[in-house]
Amino acid sequence: MSSVYNYHQYQQYNSKSPSKPLVITHFPNPYPPPQPKQPNPTPKQDPESIKIKTNTTIPTSNPQLLHLHQQNTRIVRIPRLTNTDIPQFSNLLPGEDPEDQVLNPDPHNHVNHHFQPRFNFQNQWFDTTSISPLSNYLTSEQFKKIVDEVNLYLRQMYEPRSWALLYMVLNSLSFGLINGLFDVDKVAFGKLQRFVEDLNLRFESGEFGSGKDGNEKKNNKDRAESHGEDNKIDERTIDGDNCKLLSLKGVRLISPADNGFLSLDFEIPKPVPEMVVQVVEDK
């Protein structure tokens, strides 16, 4: 993937270290929380609430719930590529572009290439490089695989096809019958939406990164006592990286259709000082 300017990030004055400006790498979450898929309520059920497997009742129209969700989550935005006419997104994790010398002056000399929550600004934790908190949840290979899959479906939706003229002629002669029976764009869009839904389910269940998605070994040790339930260490040792990434529970890929394909957004738990990725000592 060629270098791309990440226009979603910017520098901010750092009052605690004026010579090292902060880099804003995550943003407020404008998206509502995901709603569990449930059958239609029976007459005896409360239509204002839904039940999930944990026996917790969550009001579907509770503004306090929406506010709480937005307070406890943030968005990392992945930029669109500028050298293509169709929506395509960078498959480089923020901060990995070797030519990004403005927001990441020394990308090869940062601690393990992971986000370090070192400075608090407006009740949010940031660092002085363009490495985002997403690097504490996904490896470069995992991230590339996800974005490449999204880009593939987008190409199927938008790229001109050699048989498009014949398709339009036949569709006109059949008074739209062919388009109603088999709409290529709708099929590709459906694939994209199902991919996003399935990926988020794998994030939540812990299946992603359990050996089926990259060179990983996963030990299901609960570190909630020291890191909190939302940011517990998942003990995923990445071959060649010697680090323990954070649990993917709470991470969600937002469908690019939800923001007009302007960016590829990842929802993450709000960064906290305890979310530092641990280094595995060689034995």
Q: What percent of the chain has pLDDT over 90?
A: 39
Across 201-216, average pLDDT:
71
Across 127-148, average pLDDT:
94
Which residues, other chains included, contact 162 with Cβ-Cβ below 8 Å and sequence gap of 6+? none
Q: What percent of the chain has pLDDT over 70?
A: 63
Report H helices in the chain. Answer: 63-71, 140-158, 164-173, 177-181, 184-205, 224-227
DSSP assignment string, 21-33: -EEE--B---SPP
Distance CA 170, CA 176 (A): 8
**How distant, in Å, are the alpha carbons of 29, 83, 150, 157 from that of 269?**
10, 32, 22, 31
Query: Is-contact 34 252, C-beta < 8 A?
Result: yes
- State phi, psi for 62 to the nearest 5 degrees: -95, 110
This prediction's pTM? 0.74
pLDDT exceeds 90 at position 121: yes
pLDDT exceeds 90 at position 29: yes
Across 221-235, average pLDDT:
39
pLDDT for the residue numbered 156: 85
Query: Is-contact 182 170, C-beta < 8 A?
Result: no
Distance CA 73, CA 55 (A): 23
Query: Is-contact 115 127, C-beta < 8 A?
Result: yes
Across 134-148, average pLDDT:
95
What sign does the dihedral 131-114-90-97 (CA atoms) show?
A: positive
Distance CA 262, CA 239 (A): 34
Query: Is-contact 58 48, C-beta < 8 A?
Result: no
Distance CA 73, CA 29 (A): 6
pLDDT exceeds 70 at position 233: no
Across 31-39, average pLDDT:
73
Query: Is-contact 234 206, C-beta < 8 A?
Result: yes
What type of residue sits at position 253? L
How many Cα atoms are found within 13 Å in the side-chain-facing hemisphere of 95?
30
**How distant, in Å, are the alpha carbons of 74, 159, 180 from that of 166?**
46, 16, 16
Quick one: three-class SS letters along 123-152? CEEEECCCCCHHHHCCCHHHHHHHHHHHHH
